[in-house]
Structure 1
Amino acid sequence: MKKPALLVAFGFASLTAFSQSNSDILYFLDGQKEVKIKEVGLTSIKYTYPNEETVYTISKHQVEKIVFGSGREEVFESPIKEVTGLSDFKKVFITYNPEDIAGLQSKGHLFSKATGVTTLSSINEVNNRALNKLKMEASMIGANVVFVGNTFQRGNQYGGENQAGNSTQTSFSGMGYSTNEINTEAVKSLIESRTFHHYQTHKLNRNSWSPDRIIATKYGPDRKPLMFKLDSVIERDGELFIKTKEIPSKTKELKVIHADDEKLVLMERNEKVTYNYFLITDQNNFFKNLTY
């Protein structure tokens, strides 16, 4: 009487193992998860977690590929790229679809405006300038995705005898988001183990035509770039902030928006101006190429 029971139990265990092994793997831009794909639509993917019934929806833009339990792979070309600062602003992804930002970390409000120089200014040129300024500000606050909530556009308005004309104008308002989560422990370890050099300061004023890039390098008596250690690292709500006396900032704490073995990008902002302080580490190629 025991053999049939054992066979049933073994069969059930085998069926469960087979079911689990046939789970699908969803590769996000920042990691992977074991799931069960329910639907692959034109713009989104629906899935559940193993042994659960709740259906989740995610934009295809946040997914690199799916490896199905059958072994088949489906690869997606995501327009969302890594952005490490102002030099990457052209990579910032602009979207009007709320599905594209589902589950992403908010980085803050964004606004840009551009106005034509004369009433003969091209509408497309002004639109592109406003859009580029939006991307620039996004890149400087650590966002690689922008969800545009409001757009305003005014065409050229020619004046008359008693009325002045107005040139074309475009403005964008939205929120910046990031697909990249900072590994706080790894960044803390990097900051504590490295010395830094303040290489550049990037400044973007919303009322300005374009950002300023200022060389900040200072040299010591030995004619070598000045290096320094950062005073302290503060973790708050999953984000990191730096305190240092070596950077002439207006705030006491500077937010970390990017960190790797060769560079560290810090940010401060107010209602109109965003600053990035571009620091390079003692492992940067800049120092390897120096000759004295």
Structure 2
Amino acid sequence: MNMTKSAFLFVLLLFSVRAFGQTDTIFSNNEKIPCIVKEIKESSVVYVHPGEELLNSIYKNAVQKIVFKNGRVQVFAEATSFNAVKGVDDYEKVTVTAVESEVKGLFKVGDVSAKAVGTTELSNQERVKNRAYRKLKMVAAMMGANAVYLTNQRTEGNKIGYFSSSSAETNLTGVAYTNRLPDFNAFKELLDRHKGKMTQVLEVSLGGSSTEYAKFKTNKPFTIENLTGENGLIVIDDKYRVVGFDQQGFNVYYRNKSKWFNVRVDFGE
């Protein structure tokens, strides 16, 4: 009887392994998708779930690689072209694009804007524009983004008149994206393991009229009353959005009027 049962379990296991080996696996930025790949298009991958006929698609920007059932591996440069941005100091790694298709499949984290104005009527217009782009990247990095889709750019040169003059100015607006969001369940498990006190140890701020961010060491208690996960975003107390975490603590982003903030919170003992 036991031998018969063991043989049955062995056959069942062997069947399961073979069945799994008969599927392809898409490795996206956030999950593994066992499937059957039907077609790889210019900007997307078309697939079906095992045992189904409904066609699904995923943008190539969200696909890291596909492991086919025959063992062949195809890596997608679209997903690996985005740099990891771990904090505001990595702002230079943020990608800014005016091509909407380049952010298809990424996760939207919010709208972003930046403005830079020359200090005098003789300010270099190109330098003013570069300062605006630099600030745009800083804001995106504070939001936990590594890509910005630029929706509008307005640049005005110096104006020198008899009665009035104005300096060069650049205004930028766009949408901030990331190719990888913090995992809600993993963050919640981390909080459950660290039930001690939490302390805000660093605050990074950037004002609407500034083109440089400021850093301040802090020592403030931090508490969490409510934690939600919606559309892939982790929100604390309807105010702070978690942009990253590690075993020692986490970073949150929030905005107060025309000022952006990124705060580091460490776990206590």
Give the TM-score of the pair, scaled to structure 1: 0.71
SS at 1:89's partner residue? helix
Structure 2: distance between partners of 1:242 and 1:122: 43
Alignment match of 2:223 (pick from 217, 226, 230): 230
Aligned ranges 1:43-54 → 2 under 5 Å: 44-50=43-49, 51-52=52-53, 54=55
Give 2:119's aligned amino acid.
Answer: V
- Higher-Rg structure is 1
1:35/1:132 CA distance change after superposition, 3 Å: farther
Displacement, 1:165? Answer: 3.4
Give 1:58's aligned amino acid.
Answer: Y
Displacement, 1:178? Answer: 2.5
Q: Show the counterpart of 1:240.
A: 234
Map Cα deviations across residues 209-233 of structure 1 (whole Å, 9 max, x no partner).
Answer: 2111111147xxxxxxxxx573434
Native 8 Å contact 1:191 1:230 kept in 2? no
Q: Show the counterpart of 2:74.
A: 74
SS at 2:165's partner residue? coil
Map Cα deviations across residues 177-207 of structure 1 (whole Å, 9 max, x no partner).
Answer: 2322332222122223324332211111121
SS at 2:45's partner residue? strand
1:94/1:35 CA distance change after superposition, 3 Å: farther
Give 1:144's aligned amino acid.
Answer: N
CA RMSD of aligned residues (A): 3.0
Displacement, 1:150? Answer: 1.0
1:167/1:55 CA distance change after superposition, 3 Å: same
Structure 2: distance between partners of 1:240 and 1:20: 33
Give 1:100's aligned amino acid.
Answer: E
Aligned ranges 1:150-169 → 2 under 5 Å: 150-157=152-159, 159-160=160-161, 162-169=162-169
Give the TM-score of the pair, scaled to structure 2: 0.77
Point out where structure 2 has 5 or more consecutive residues left out of the alignment.
1-16
Structure 2: distance between partners of 1:112 and 1:229: 29
Is the counterpart of residue 182 in structure 1 residue 163 in structure 2?
no
Aligned ranges 1:18-167 → 2 under 5 Å: 21=21, 23-33=23-33, 34-41=35-42, 44-50=43-49, 51-52=52-53, 54=55, 56=57, 58-59=59-60, 61-77=61-77, 78-157=80-159, 159-160=160-161, 162-167=162-167
Map Cα deviations across residues 260-282 of structure 1 (whole Å, 9 max, x no partner).
Answer: 21221122213411112212234
Structure 2: distance between partners of 1:148 and 1:110: 9
Structure 2: distance between partners of 1:22 and 1:163: 78
Displacement, 1:89? Answer: 1.8
Structure 2: distance between partners of 1:151 and 1:114: 12
